[in-house]
Structure 1
């Protein structure tokens, strides 16, 4: 859909950024550049850092999935339509969160 070419480009740029971030996180967690320290206390600190990095990596993977789903919605002609109520997602919401799949009303409801 021609009307969403700029959104598609933005989503692909977001994917590239996430892929780069995930690559760095993976390298850090696997200690590719810096092996685990010999000192037990330092290892404990590194393990805590790995847990934070793991959380950030999981968040990035979730966001990546949401972006690929948004690209699929563009291809199907369903972009900008709330997946719950079928109403149009506001332009302002899509501008702020281009991979949004729900309108603000549905996204704000408890349990969603």
Structure 2
């Protein structure tokens, strides 16, 4: 079992979310079919892609905030109560801002 390294984990997550957002933007930038029925289907797909892009951008912002907390020496501290965030929670959700008790 390897030790949890928040710096490398957050860097990898940031790269993953950036890559995901870029791929979605490329898909959204493609041209649409001339066929009206096909265009309707493509527009529905665009709505799904836009929602996925919003999720990726939100997750990227959360990762960036976690990286800022890490740089400031506050990573792993609950933003609400100031107690330590459980190691298992950080391993599962590296950008967690609150301990499990405060997140409820």
Superposition RMSD in Å: 1.4
Alignment match, 1:15: 14
Alignment match, 2:27: 28
Question: 1:30, CA displacement in angstroms?
Answer: 1.1
Asked if 1:70 is matched to 2:71, the reply is no
Runs (4+) off by over 6 Å: none
Unaligned regions of 5+ residues in structure 2, if any? none
Unaligned regions of 5+ residues in structure 1, if any? none
Cα offsets for 1:6-37 (capped at 9, x unmatched)? 21111111111111111110011111xxx200
Alignment match, 1:83: 79
Using structure 1 for the length normalisation, give the TM-score. Answer: 0.86
Q: How many residue pairs end up in the alignment?
A: 102
